Structure 1
Amino acid sequence: MPSNIYPMLINGQSGLTDATVDVVDPSTGWSIGQVPEANSETIEQSLEAAQQGFRVWSATPPVQRKELILRYADLLEENSERIVVLLRAETGKPQDNAEYDFGMLTTCLRFFVEEFERLDQAVLHDPDGRFLHYTLRQPLGVAVGMLAWNFPLLNVGYKIGPALAAGCSVIIKPSSLTPLASLEAAHLAKEAGIPDGVINMITSSDHKVTKALLQSDIPAMVTMIGSTRGGLEVMNASCTSVKHFSVELGGNAPVVVYPDADIRDAANKVVDLKFANCGQVCVSPNRCFVHESVYDEFVEYAKTRAESVEMGPLISDDARQYVLGLVESAVAEGAELVSGGKPVEGDGYFMEPTILKNVATGMKVAHDEIFGPVLPIIKYTDADNEIALANDTEYGLAAYVFTSNLATGLRAARDIEAGSVCINEPHYSVQLPHGGLKQSGVGKDCSRYSLEEYLTLKRVSVLIDH
C-alpha cells in the first residue's frame, strides 16, 4: 500500500498540519501511511466546530436526524470493502474480525437512532393534584471521545451512535496507532449530509496537546475506552469544569469453572474468547479458576482447542515484549507452560497462543491485565472461596461462570463484582449494557443506558389547579 497522509476532519473540512505520525501495519512492521499531528490551533478549531455543530444538530428534528444517520450507515456499507482493507492493514486483524469490527459501527448507528424513539419521558405523580409534572430528554452537548486501538470502528460506533441519535456533536480522537479506517469513516459523514461540525475527528500522539480538549469548558461529556491509568489521567485533566463521564477502562476478567460444568464446552469457549483479537480485548478472560477435580481435564481440552487457533499480531513490539515478560515471570515463579510462550519468527509482532497451568494468584500474570494471548489457569479447591478469588482485583468489567447448576450460577452472578457476568457462554450485543465496576470505569456503552448518558433529564411542573 503506498504511503499517504490521511487528513483529520474538522468542521466538515480536511485538516492537515506540518507534522505527521506514522501508522504501522503490525503484521509486517512497515509504515502504511501518516496522519496529521494535531496542534493547539486544530484543537481550538475542533472545539469551535463542535460547539456550532451542536447548535445545528440539537435543533434538527429527530426525524431528520434519523434520516441522515441511516443514510450515513448505508454509505458506510457501500464503502465497506475499502474501509475494511484499511482496518486490516493498521490492526493486522483477520478478515472475519475486521468485518465484525466494521459491522458494529453501522449496527450502533442504526440501533441508537431507533432506540431514541423508544425512550420514555415520564409523567410524574403530584400528591395534591395541583400540578402536571413531566420529564424532558434533551441533547447534553458536545462530547469528546478518546478511543482505544483494539477495535477502532466498534469503539467509534459505541460513541457516535448514541451521541448522534441524542442530538449531540462529537470530537473523536482515535488511537494514533489505528486511526486510518476511523478517519475514512468520519469523512463519509459529510457526503451523507451530516452537518459540518457534528462529527469532528482529530489525530495526535501527544497527550499534552490533546489535553486542551479535556480542559476546555465546551465539552459537556468526556467519554473514553482505554486503560484505567489513562482514564484517571483523562478524568483528572477534565475537571476544570463540571462534565459528565462515561469511561470503559481496564479489566481482569475471572472465569470460574465449577466441577459440574460441561468441561469441554467451557474450555472451548474460554479459549475462543481468550485468543480472539490476539487477546487484545477488554473483556478477555484473564484469570481462569478451575476446580481441582476437573483441572487436568480442562487444561487438556484448552490445549487441544488452542492448537487450532489462528491469530493476528499484537499491536506493537512493545506490547509483545510486555506479554512475553509476563509469561517469563510466571514460569520463573513456578507456572508451567502448557503451550506457546514464544514470539513467532519473521515480520510483524506475532506470538504463539499461550496457556499456563499451576498459576498462583500472587503472580503478576494473574493480577495485571494481560491484553495478549496468554491464558493463566488457576486451580481451586473446596476449601477455597471461588467468588472471593474472582473478586480479588481492583477491576470489575466482565466475568464468566460455567456450571450446570442454576442456583450456583445465579449466586455467582449476584456475588461477583463485575459490570457483566455471563453464565455458560460469553455474550455481548448492542442492546445489552456494557461497562465496569470498581476501577473498570463508570457509565455504559451499548443499550438504552448509554443513550441516556447523552441526554439531560429535565423536570417540568405546570400549575393546573389554583
Structure 2
Amino acid sequence: MALEKKMYIGGQLLAGSTNFDVVSPATDEVVGSIAWASAGDAEAALTAADAAFESWASLSITERTGWMGKLREAVIANEEHLRECIHLEMGKPWASTQEDFDSLVNSLNFYAEEISRFRPEALVDREGTHSHTLVHEPVGVVVAYIAWNFPLLNLAFKIGPAMATGCPIVIKPSFKTPLSAYALGEICHRIGLPAGAVNIICGDDTEVGDTLSASKIPALLTLIGSTNTGRHIMKMGASSIKRYSMELGGNAPALVFADADLDQAADTICAVKFGNAGQVCVTPNRVFVDATIADQFTKKVLERVNAIKVGYDRSANIDMGPVMDEAAFKRIDALVADAKSKGATVLAGGGRAQGLNAGQFYAPTVLADVTAEMASYQQEIFGPVMNISTFSDEDEVLRLANDTDAGLTAYVFTRDLARAERFSSKLRFGEIQINGVKYGIDLPHGGIKQSGIGCDCSYLALHDYLATKRVSRALAN
C-alpha cells in the first residue's frame, strides 16, 4: 500500500489542492503520495514561521532544547517508519538507511548541547569609558532546501542548528524524496511542537521554491544541492538582503601516490565512490594514480567492484541500490559513452547491472585512461562510475587536481607525512582527507570556490543561524 502524507504548516497537517506521486527508482512503481504545495502554501508556511519567530526565539535555551529532546525521542520511537520512507523513495539498501536516521538523531542531540557555547562575551574598552557585551541572537526565519541523495541526513544538518538557535524553519525537501521529510512533519505534529517552529512543504521548484526564495521574510536561505541551483536561489533571493549557507557540487580528486597503502586507498575510494550509488557530493570523481603502481591499484579496485552486490531486497545483504531516476541513469550512461568514444577503457560495468531488469540500477563502473577532454572528468558524475587517470609528476597532478571550479573535498593517499602536509596546504578544497575518510555531525563540512559558502555540521554551523549584537554602555564618571 502506498504511503499518503500531508504537508506540515503552522503546527497543522494539511492536504494540498493536488497530490503528487512518489516513484521508487528500485521498482519504477508508485510508493507514496504527498500533498503537493502551491505558491499559496509556500506563503502560508513563511507567514507561519514569521509569526512564530518572536515566541520561539524568546524561549530559553533550556526550553528549546527540551523540545529538541522531545522530538529526538519521538524520532527514535519512529525509526522503522522513517527508514522505510527512505528505503521506498530512494530504493536505498535497508542497511544504508541507518546513516540517514542516525544523522537526524545525532544532530538534534549535538546542537542541543552546542548552543550553550554561545554565551554573552565581554569586550575590553581601550579607553575604559564603556562596557561592551557581544550577544548572539537568531537571525530570523530560515528556508532550507534539502537534496534527495540523503533525505534525512541533509534535513538533519539544517533542523538541528535552526531549532537550537531559535530560528523558525521552512523545509522544502526534493520532490524526488519527500516521504521521510513529511513523516517528520507528522512527528512534529504528534508531539505538539510550537506552531510555526518547523514547517515542511514540497512543491514545484519554480512555483514553490522561487516563492520561498524571493520572499522578504527569510533571513537565511540554506541549501544542499547543485551549484546551478545555488546560483538560482541566490538570484531569486536578491529581493532583500539575506544570508546564504550552501553546500554545493563537487568534483573531488583522489591522489594515490606510489608509497600509499594500496589496500587502504582502494577500500576508501571504493566505499565513497560506490556507496549510495555514487550519489554523494564528496565522492572521488577523478582518481589520479601514480603510473608505477597503477596496475596494482586498479587490480585491487576491480576485486572490490566485482564483489559489490547491487539490488533492493530488504532481507538481503545489499551494497548498492539504484540511481535516483531514469534521467540520472541516462545521464550517467551518456557520460560513460562519451568517455569510451574519446579513448577511455571500460574495465567494469558500463550500463545496466546484470540481472536487474526493472528499476534504475546502473552497474558499478570503472573507467581507465580517462583524460581531461572527457565529460565524466569535467563534470560531477553523481553516479557509480570511477574515473582513473595516471600521473608521474607531483607538480602536474597538483595542477590537475586543482583545475576545477569545485572545491569541496580532496583525498590524498601517501605514507610520506611531508608530502601529505605539502598537498594539504596546496589543494584548493574545503576538506582534505588523508589516508581515509571521516565525517560526523561534530566535524565542519563545507566547500570553497563554486562548492558553497557557510558551513554544515560542527558548532561552526551555528554561526550561519546567529546574528551578533554589540551592547555598549557608558560608564559613570
On whether the aligned pair clears a TM of 0.5, the verdict is yes
TM-score after normalising by structure 1: 0.98
CA RMSD of aligned residues (A): 1.2
Tell whether the 8 Å contact from 1:56 to 1:195 is kept in structure 2 after alignment.
no
Matches within 5 A, 1:409-428: 409-428=420-439
Tell whether the 8 Å contact from 1:68 to 1:193 is kept in structure 2 after alignment.
no
- Residue 210 of structure 1 and its aligned partner are, at CA, apart by 2.6
- Which AA in structure 1 matches 2:276? N
Q: Does 1:349 pair with 2:349?
A: no
Aligned position for 1:463:
474
Go from structure 1 to structure 2 and tell me whether the alpha carbon gap of 1:340 and 1:104 turns closer, same or farther (over 3 Å shift).
same
Task: Name the stretch that deviates more: 375-384 or 23-32.
Answer: 375-384
Aligned position for 1:284:
283
SS of 2:239's equivalent? coil
Q: 1:323 aligns with which of 314, 317, 332?
A: 332
SS of 1:322's equivalent? helix
Tell whether the 8 Å contact from 2:11 to 2:192 is kept in structure 1 after alignment.
no
- Which AA in structure 2 matches 1:177? K
d(CA) in 1 for partners of 2:89 and 2:183? Answer: 13
The aligned length equals 465
Q: 1:379 aligns with which of 366, 372, 390?
A: 390
- Identity of counterpart residues, as a percentage? 39
Q: Does 1:432 pair with 2:443?
A: yes
Unpaired segments ≥5 residues, structure 1: none
- Residue 33 of structure 1 and its aligned partner are, at CA, apart by 1.5
d(CA) in 2 for partners of 1:29 and 1:157? Answer: 27
Aligned position for 1:104:
103
- Which AA in structure 1 matches 2:46? L
- Residue 37 of structure 1 and its aligned partner are, at CA, apart by 2.1
d(CA) in 1 for partners of 2:441 and 2:191? Answer: 23
Per-residue deviation, residues 197-223 of structure 1 (Å, max 9, x unmatched): 100001113413331111111100000
- Which AA in structure 2 matches 1:418? F
Matches within 5 A, 1:52-451: 52-309=51-308, 310-344=319-353, 345-382=356-393, 384-451=395-462
d(CA) in 2 for partners of 1:376 and 1:64? Answer: 50
Tell whether the 8 Å contact from 1:176 to 1:204 is kept in structure 2 after alignment.
yes
TM-score after normalising by structure 2: 0.96
d(CA) in 2 for partners of 1:245 and 1:173? Answer: 16
d(CA) in 2 for partners of 1:134 and 1:206? Answer: 42
- Which AA in structure 2 matches 1:453? D
- Residue 166 of structure 1 and its aligned partner are, at CA, apart by 0.4
Go from structure 1 to structure 2 and tell me whether the alpha carbon gap of 1:13 and 1:383 turns closer, same or farther (over 3 Å shift).
closer
d(CA) in 1 for partners of 2:416 and 2:121? Answer: 40
d(CA) in 2 for partners of 1:292 and 1:465? Answer: 74
Tell whether the 8 Å contact from 2:120 to 2:134 is kept in structure 1 after alignment.
yes
d(CA) in 2 for partners of 1:312 and 1:162? Answer: 31
- Which AA in structure 2 matches 1:433? P
- Residue 121 of structure 1 and its aligned partner are, at CA, apart by 3.3
Aligned position for 2:313:
none
d(CA) in 1 for partners of 2:128 and 2:395? Answer: 58
Tell whether the 8 Å contact from 2:336 to 2:376 is kept in structure 1 after alignment.
yes
d(CA) in 2 for partners of 1:285 and 1:207? Answer: 31
d(CA) in 2 for partners of 1:40 and 1:375? Answer: 41
SS of 1:385's equivalent? helix
Tell whether the 8 Å contact from 1:21 to 1:205 is kept in structure 2 after alignment.
no
Tell whether the 8 Å contact from 1:69 to 1:194 is kept in structure 2 after alignment.
no
Aligned position for 2:311:
none
d(CA) in 1 for partners of 2:3 and 2:303? Answer: 43
d(CA) in 2 for partners of 1:3 and 1:386? Answer: 50
- Which AA in structure 1 matches 2:232? E
d(CA) in 2 for partners of 1:210 and 1:366? Answer: 31
Aligned position for 2:315:
none
SS of 2:4's equivalent? coil
- Which AA in structure 2 matches 1:441? G
Tell whether the 8 Å contact from 2:38 to 2:207 is kept in structure 1 after alignment.
no
- Residue 47 of structure 1 and its aligned partner are, at CA, apart by 1.0
Tell whether the 8 Å contact from 2:48 to 2:196 is kept in structure 1 after alignment.
yes
Tell whether the 8 Å contact from 1:361 to 1:378 is kept in structure 2 after alignment.
no
